[in-house]
Amino acid sequence: MATLTVSISEKLQLNGKDRGSVITKDISSITETFHRIMDVKTSGTQKILEMDATEGNSTGGKLFSTNVKYLRITNLDTTNFVSITVQNDATEEYMVKLEAGQTYVLFNSKIDANDLGDGSAASGNLTDIDNILARANSASCQVEVFAALA
C-alpha cells in the first residue's frame, strides 16, 4: 500500500498582496493505479473510463468505483477544448468543458445530477459513476486519465 499526495497550488499577487494558497491532501492505502493517455476525436463521444459498483465486474480496465479515491482528467492539447461527460447508469449525467491544458479532479466516484431538465435541484441521492465520455471540439486532442484506488 502507498500514500498518494495531491497538491493544488495557486499563485496570485493581487493589489500587492499574496492571494494564492496551497492545499495538500494525502490519500492512504492506495493499492492500484490507472493511467492512460489517449486520443479523443471530434466525431461522437468516446468512453475514456468505465467503472462498476460490483467488484467482480471490475476487470479488464473497468475500475471498481467504490475503490476510486482520486481521479484526474487533463486535456493535454494546447489549443482545443474537450467536453467531458460524467454518467451514472446513463440516466443522469453532467458535462464539463476542459479548455486546452485544463484539468478536472474528483476525490471519489459519486454523483447526482438533475435529470429532469427543469431547473429543479438534484435530489441528493449520490450514486456511482459508470462512464466518463469525451469529445474534442474542433480537432483531435490528447487526454490524460489518472486514477488511484484503495
Structural domain boundaries enclosing 73: 32-149
**pLDDT, mean of each 10-residue run, the chain (150 residues):** 97 97 98 97 95 84 94 98 91 93 97 67 78 97 98
8 Å CB contact between 9 and 20: yes
Amino acid 37: pLDDT:
98
The CB density around residue 94, as the number of other CB atoms within 10 Å, is: 15
Question: Which CATH number fits the domain that encloses residue 79?
Answer: 2.60.120.770
Do the domain assignments include residue 14?
A: no
What 8-state DSSP symbol labels residue 91? Answer: T
Number of domains in the chain: 1
Amino acid 141: pLDDT:
97
